[in-house]
Amino acid sequence: METKTAVESLAALAQETRLSVFRLLVEAGPEGLPAGYIAERLAVAGATLSFHLKELSRAGLVTARQEGRFIYYAANFEQMAALMSFLTQNCCKGMPQDCLSVMETALGSCCGPTTSTKRKPARSRS
């Protein structure tokens, strides 16, 4: 990630409403949320939300898709990961393995692999 791109992403997140919108979309996952739900959940007027979503979109942090009459917004997880990588690429004096466990622990609490509770059917022995 280029420094200019990182600055644009960080600038977009450096506002309370936009940060709240982005965090809500991260929580929602790849399916995203309809704009009306975001506005309702965060108690933000539609025009205000539209402005903030445009800023997040311009920074590449959210994507939009239309389904019928609704526009769904989703966090751009690739851009988020690129920004996180950019911010941590020189951590621990260029030895990221020294602080990797801290990052894995932090990310694992929200983005860890899902474990299935379904059990495989038992195999019958002949």
How big is the chain, counted in residues? Answer: 126
Q: What is the topology classification, in CATH, of domain 3-78?
A: Arc Repressor Mutant, subunit A (1.10.10)
CA 55 to chain centre: 15
More confident of the two residues 21 and 110: 21
**Res. 38: pLDDT tops 80:** yes
Q: 3-state DSSP: the chain helix, strand, coil percent, rounded to 5?
A: 60, 10, 30
What is the pLDDT averaged over residues 9-13? 97
What is the pLDDT averaged over residues 59-79? 96
d(CA 13, CA 24): 13
Nearest C-alpha neighbor of 77 from the set 119, 34, 25, 42: 25
Residue boundaries of the structural domains of the chain: 3-78
A 10 A CB-CB count for 99 gives: 13
**Res. 117: pLDDT tops 50:** no
pTM: 0.75
